[in-house]
Amino acid sequence: MGFFEKLKQGLAKTKKGFIEKVEAIFTGRKIDEETLEELEEALILSDVGTKATSEIMTAIREKAKRGEVGDTVSVKELLKKEMITILGNAQPLVVYGEKPFVILSVGVNGVGKTTTIGKLASRFRSEGLSVILAAGDTFRAAGIEQLEIWAKRADAQFVKHQSGSDPAAVAFDAITAAKHRGIDVVIIDTAGRLHTKSPLMEELKKVKRVIEKAMPNAPHEVLLVVDATTGQNALRQAQMFNEAIGVTGIALAKLDGTAKGGIVFAIKKDFGIPVRLIGIGEGLDDLRDFNPEEFVEALFS
């Protein structure tokens, strides 16, 4: 199965919850304030978010007034156009600048962070780049072991300290090692929940400060992994992490099992953070660059 087919399959639940509703709203009915209000409600229930919904509806209402949308087909075409506009151009994760390129991976526990890191490492290796994975989630012994398994699978180097040690020290050591060894990319895992006295965000700020000391201008990417199935919760996570450490990109995991794929519009509109990667399955090659046009096309086809 090709990627587009997988994407279509992955978005099937979102499509069922939204596109089929749109068709039901307008079939055999005229486009008036009543049907437009129903469309607005369908957008909000699909986790598109209030800001993105408002922008989409303003454009549709204006065109409806001018008589430019007259049936289901024209409404869907306009929806597609507006959704692509909100998502903007594709902004993939690109390795640039002097070595190493440092990615700080953040997100709450259970979102698929370690798996995303492993798949990303595997992708970089397939592109001929050398990679170090740093086990910065030192509070979960299982987290360290899981990342080590991924490092072996992806043929990446691995830096860890013992369980319970300082995550910032792991990050520092990984960057130092990468500099000495001429490694291209460092991906640093972090805790998603802390059971210690130190709150999670303060811990992450410290890790970020230490990374900056180890290498000026790093981290080059603060990648927030969110679970698409959590909908509005993912939006709150984006807000929290962005306020604390400044998120530069989103990796949207578990898109294959959710009716809440609309969350990509809310994240982009509310915070201006680009979705860089999407995960649509368990396979190594199921983590892909996010392409807004392809995403919207798959949603409607």
Question: What is 3-87's CATH topology?
Answer: Four Helix Bundle (Hemerythrin (Met), subunit A) (1.20.120)
Is the pLDDT reported for residue 281 higher than 90?
A: no
Residue with tokens 């691995």: 158
Is the pLDDT reported for residue 198 higher than 70?
A: no
The values of phi and psi at residue 130, to 5°, are -90, 145
List, for residues 211-226, the tens digit of each pLDDT value: 999 999 999 999 999 9
How confident is the model at residue 141, as a pLDDT?
83
Question: What is 101-300's CATH topology?
Answer: Rossmann fold (3.40.50)
Indicate the residue type of 228: A
Residues paired with residue 287 on neighbouring β-strands, in sequence order: 279
Provide the pLDDT confidence category of residue 16 given band limits of 50, 70 and 90: confident
> What integer is the mean pLDDT of 72-95?
93
Distance, CA of 279 to CA of 122 (rounded, Å):
14
Among candidates 15, 138, 29, which has minimal Cα distance to 75?
29
Q: How far from 256 is each of 168, 227, 232, CA to CA, in Å?
A: 34, 10, 17
CA 90 to chain centroid, in Å, comes to 13
> What integer is the mean pLDDT of 119-142?
95
Q: Domain limits of the chain?
A: 3-87, 101-300
Mean per-residue pLDDT of the chain:
92
> What integer is the mean pLDDT of 239-250?
95
> What integer is the mean pLDDT of 27-51?
91
Distance, CA of 116 to CA of 273 (rounded, Å):
18
Q: How far from 208 is each of 17, 103, 169, 185, 188, CA to CA, in Å?
A: 39, 11, 11, 16, 10
List, for residues 69-80, the tens digit of each pLDDT value: 888 888 899 999
Could you please report the per-residue DSSP string of 87-111? H-S-------SSSPEEEEEE--TTS
Distance, CA of 99 to CA of 182 (rounded, Å):
7
Q: Which region holds residue 108: left if phi is over 0, alpha if psi is between -120 and 50, else beta?
A: beta
